[in-house]
């Protein structure tokens, strides 16, 4: 079961958990559209998160559309989201620093005519 979760990158886990935390009633179709992934992949990701206990799924009792679900982060899901957020932030900061160096190098080349 954990193997399915391993196929999800920290970026997707972070984005999915963040979206669901702020909008637990989001549809799989809307989630897929926001993330720029297929509906099948969105379904796969959600099922993987449910299997490992990071999400809980329930039907809307008041909904006329009985296929409407609500995705709620479990206590483990909230904890995992915090861990993923820290890892994702560290990755993005490292990426930012690399881009700053590359931009500096390119500017230097332009200024010194080393094109």
Would you state the pLDDT for residue 29?
Answer: 93
All domains in the chain, ordered by first residue: 2-111 (1.10.10.10)
Alpha carbon of residue 90 to chain centroid: 15
Spans in the chain with pLDDT lower than 70: 1-7, 60-67, 115
Would you state the pLDDT for residue 82?
Answer: 94
- Where do the H-state alpha helices sit in 1-115? 2-6, 10-22, 28-35, 39-51, 75-111
* Partners of residue 73 on adjacent β-strands: 55
pLDDT tens profile 61-94: 555 655 678 899 999 999 999 999 999 999 999 9
């Amino acid at each position: 079961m954990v193997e399915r979760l391993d196929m999800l990158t920290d970026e997707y886990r972070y984005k999915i958990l963040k979206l669901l935390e702020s909008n637990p009633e989001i549809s799989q179709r809307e989630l897929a559209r926001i993330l720029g992934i297929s509906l099948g992949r969105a379904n796969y990701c959600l099922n993987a998160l449910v299997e490992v206990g990071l999400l809980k799924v329930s039907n809307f009792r008041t909904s006329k559309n009985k296929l409407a679900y609500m995705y709620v982060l479990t206590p483990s899901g909230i904890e995992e989201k915090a861990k993923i957020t820290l890892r994702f932030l560290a990755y993005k900061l490292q990426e930012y620093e690399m881009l700053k160096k590359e931009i500096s190098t390119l500017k230097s080349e332009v200024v010194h005519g080393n094109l």
